[in-house]
Amino acid sequence: MDYDQFDNEWTPEELAQLRTLDSERAPTAALKARTVRLLRARHLIGARWSPGLRSVLALAAASVVFVAGTAVGYAAGARRATLRAVVPPPAALAKADSSATQRQQTRQVIWF
Amino acid sequence: MLGQATVGCMRESFNASTPDRALVRAIQRDRSEDAFSVLYDRHTPRALQTAWRLLGARGDDAEDAVQEAWMRAVQSLHAWNEDASFGAWLRSIAAHVAIDALRRTSRLDPETDGAWSDEEWASDRLDLETAIVALPAGYRAVLVLHDVEGFTHEEIGARLGITAGTSKGQLFKARRAVRARLAPKTEGRT
């Protein structure tokens, strides 16, 4: 059956009446409360870090990285200074070796 | 630059004039409950009315459908096309949930569900809203989706699991039934 062949459209009066139907219905307060509760329970809304807290945490993380870097750098520098005090630098060792082995001291005595 | 940083550290505030797009992004980005609250207040009344009509004026079932619709909507916010109306998208989900509920309770059979009981004929004359709500579920679904919500027969067919032709047929019968119901009882029976 082809229903397009029948003129079954709403009349202008009926259409006007249709347009006056309420388009909204006030929900109960309980609906909002339980919807929010459900969405929270499914971790779809709420209880995540706010933008402010997120900034604070980012700043704290940056501070930790900075302090850790400073500490590592300080420790490395201190270790190098200690080594320098105990072991002479390679250049000094080389110089000492060459003067001991290659330049033999000669004592010349002149008799008058 | 400094201003932007300051704003970044402050808590975002939302109100009735905040666009849907900004609210949706805040929910996606921060799970903002404040943004959801504004979006909920703005769009729930229409979605509830759609579900209420489709479900035959059963308030509790309509509220359940809207709650489920919100859950599905928030879960799939990425699927919302920002160029389209958020309200229409939500109503479409609410309609889908309501139709699923009708189908689950076997109250939706567009092919056969067309008769009113004697009790339903008892009242002499009804207003349009009551006449629509009193329609058998199959008729009501097609009439509400097409004439009130503005879906096409193809869209209705896809939602109800029927052909577009069947949807047209149901609409034809639904309109005839509403007209008969709106007329005085003697006219309606002839």
Q: What is the DSSP string of B65-99?
A: HHHHHHHHHHHTGGGS-TTS-HHHHHHHHHHHHHH
Query: What CATH architecture is B18-107?
Result: Orthogonal Bundle (1.10)
Instruction: Please state the φ and ψ torsions of residue B103, each to the nearest 5 degrees.
Output: -65, -40
Inform me whether the C-beta atom of residue B14 falls under 8 Å from chain A C-beta atoms.
no
> Is the pLDDT assigned to residue B89 strictly greater than 90?
yes
Token pair of B123 as six digits: 């009242």
Inform me whether the C-beta atom of residue A7 falls under 8 Å from chain B C-beta atoms.
no
Split at pLDDT 50, 70, 90, the class of B10 is low
| B97-133 pLDDT per residue, tens | 999 998 887 656 555 444 445 455 445 446 888 899 8
Token pair of B36 as six digits: 């959801």
- Best CA proximity match to B143, nearest among B151, B158, B62: B151
Residue type, B31: R
Task: Tell me the average pLDDT across B57-80.
Answer: 94
Average pLDDT, chain B: 83
Token pair of B67 as six digits: 């709650």
Task: Please tell me whether the overall predicted TM-score, pTM, comes out greater than 0.80 for this model.
Answer: no
Alpha-helix residue ranges (DSSP H) falling in chain A: 12-19, 29-41, 51-86, 90-101
* DSSP structure class, residue A84: H
**How far is residue B185's CA from residue B121's CA, in Å, rounded to a whole number?**
8
Q: What is the CATH number of domain B108-190?
A: 1.10.10.10
Range(s) for CATH 1.10.10.10 in chain B?
108-190
Token pair of B190 as six digits: 């002839």
With CB atoms and an 8 Å threshold, state whether B148 touches A18.
yes
Predicted pLDDT at B4: 40
**How far is residue B138's CA from residue B136's CA, in Å, rounded to a whole number?**
6
**How far is residue B131's CA from residue B125's CA, in Å, rounded to a whole number?**
9
With CB atoms and an 8 Å threshold, state whether B169 touches A1.
yes
| B124-172 pLDDT per residue, tens | 446 888 899 889 888 999 999 999 999 999 999 988 889 999 999 999 9
Inform me whether the C-beta atom of residue B112 falls under 8 Å from chain A C-beta atoms.
no
**How far is residue B61's CA from residue B46's CA, in Å, rounded to a whole number?**
15
Residue corresponding to tokens 């209880």? A47
Which residues of chain A have a CB within 8 Å of the CB of B49?
22-25
Cα-only R_g, chain B:
20
Predicted pLDDT at B8: 45
Token pair of A85 as six digits: 């005090």
Token pair of B35 as six digits: 């943004």
Ranges of each domain in chain A = 49-88
